[in-house]
Structure 1
Amino acid sequence: MTDALELDALWEDFHRAVNMTSQELAAWLQVREADEQAEPPPERAGVPTGQHVLAILQKRRTDLTEEDIEVMYDVVDAVDAQAGGESEPGRTRRRHQLMTLGHDPSRP
């Protein structure tokens, strides 16, 4: 079980990492799902995780489950690991992967 201070820090980190609104994320996930035939989503940034992020965005902190907390840690870690490097080849693909997690790297 996560203590209150750790949960507060995670909540802040998650909402820093997830910089898209729930409406923006929902719209992006619909686009990605429709485009699934043309370009399969990457494993780490698959639609199920994006759907879980969307569900978390619609919850209050007090309503989080242990599974939500695990997903929040995973999302923060994934966003932090892929931060920067915008000049590298494949940046559009990386941006799309991160957007599936609710993070648009083109935003400040």
Structure 2
Amino acid sequence: MADALELDALWEEFHRVVNMTSQELAAWLQVNEASEETVPPPEHDGAPTGEHVLAILQKRRVDLTDEDLDVMYEVVDTVTAETDAGTDAGAGTGTDAAARRRKRLMTLGHDPSRAPA
């Protein structure tokens, strides 16, 4: 388990990058799963990770497990890498790549169309 300062920093960063509410994420995951027409590739872990993000959003900080912390680090790293790549502004362009990127980020609880906090 992380020390208190590290946990505080992770908690704040996670809630900064996850800019969707638990209700918004739950609705997105339901719609996203219902609209899947193809089987995702094996390396695509968006839906299980999204469900785990949803579970974390519904927890108190003191109830986090080591697995929760691993997912939180993964989400922070993924969203930060995607948004630091300079492609955040292209999220609404309608291209296939932008649509896939938006879907991937939203499955992690990050809506790229929202202004950063």
Same-fold call, TM > 0.5?
yes
Given residue 48 of structure 1, which amino acid in structure 2 is its aligned partner? Answer: P
Given residue 58 of structure 2, which amino acid in structure 1 is its aligned partner? Answer: Q
Q: Which moved more, 1:81-90 or 1:17-26?
A: 81-90
> Could you say which residue in structure 2 is the equivalent of 1:3?
3
> Could you say which residue in structure 2 is the equivalent of 1:104?
111
Q: CA RMSD in A?
A: 1.6
Runs of 4+ off more than 4 Å: 39-42
Residues 1:107 and 1:40: Cα distance change in structure 2 (over 3 Å):
farther
Give how far 1:45 is off: 4.7
Identity %: 70
Give how far 1:41 is off: 4.6
Number of residues of Structure 1 aligned to a counterpart in Structure 2: 107
Cα distance in structure 1, aligned partners of 2:65 and 2:57: 13
Task: Identify unmatched segments of 5+ residues in structure 1.
Answer: none
Give how far 1:20 is off: 0.2
Task: Identify unmatched segments of 5+ residues in structure 2.
Answer: none
TM-score (norm 2): 0.84
> Could you say which residue in structure 2 is the equivalent of 1:70?
70
Given residue 20 of structure 2, which amino acid in structure 1 is its aligned partner? Answer: M
TM-score (norm 1): 0.91
Give how far 1:32 is off: 1.1
